[in-house]
Amino acid sequence: MKKLTITYWAITVLMGAFILLGALIDISRSPDALAFIEHLGYPAYFVPFIGVVKLLGVIAVLIPGFPKLKEWAYAGLVFDTGGAIFSHLSSGDGPNKWGPALLALILVTLSYIFYTRKIKQNNLI
């Protein structure tokens, strides 16, 4: 049980930090974030919105309890990262552009897998 919990938290904290960094850049409306999102064809007002949504998703995943909210947050983070990959591929971007989104998707997926294992092991579902 302890190994599972440690693995879950290590991956989840790494995932949270990675996505949180991007969220803070988006929320601050950095010129790089605005150029990045406009390159993908989205309007500039989308940047702070998606940043706040990512921030809320990370908070929901990191706080204890609230299993239903956690499930929705994981789903939202999968849609966000999967959508980012799709947007980059549709724009003809190479791995240097869509790679970070793929890494984020992998971290979200691993975090969710270990979350569900931890829940099952503790007989919480």
**Residue 81: predicted pLDDT:** 97
**CA torsion, ordered 14, 18, 19, 22, to nearest 10 deg:** 170
Q: What is the band of 79 on the pLDDT scale with cuts at 50, 70, 90?
A: very high
* 108 pLDDT more than 90: yes
pTM of the shown model: 0.91
**Residue 119: predicted pLDDT:** 86
pLDDT one-digit tens code per residue, 38-64:
999 999 999 999 999 999 999 999 999
Single-letter code of the amino acid located at 71: E
Average pLDDT of the segment spanning 19-45: 95
Q: What is the chain written as a DSSP string?
A: -HHHHHHHHHHHHHHHHHHHHHHHHHHTT-HHHHHHHHHTT--TTHHHHHHHHHHHHHHHHHSSS-HHHHHHHHHHHHHHHHHHHHHHHHTT--HHHHHHHHHHHHHHHHHHHHHHHHHHHTT--
Q: Report percent pLDDT > 70 for the chain.
A: 98
* 125 pLDDT more than 80: no
Tokens (6 digits) for 96: 């240097």
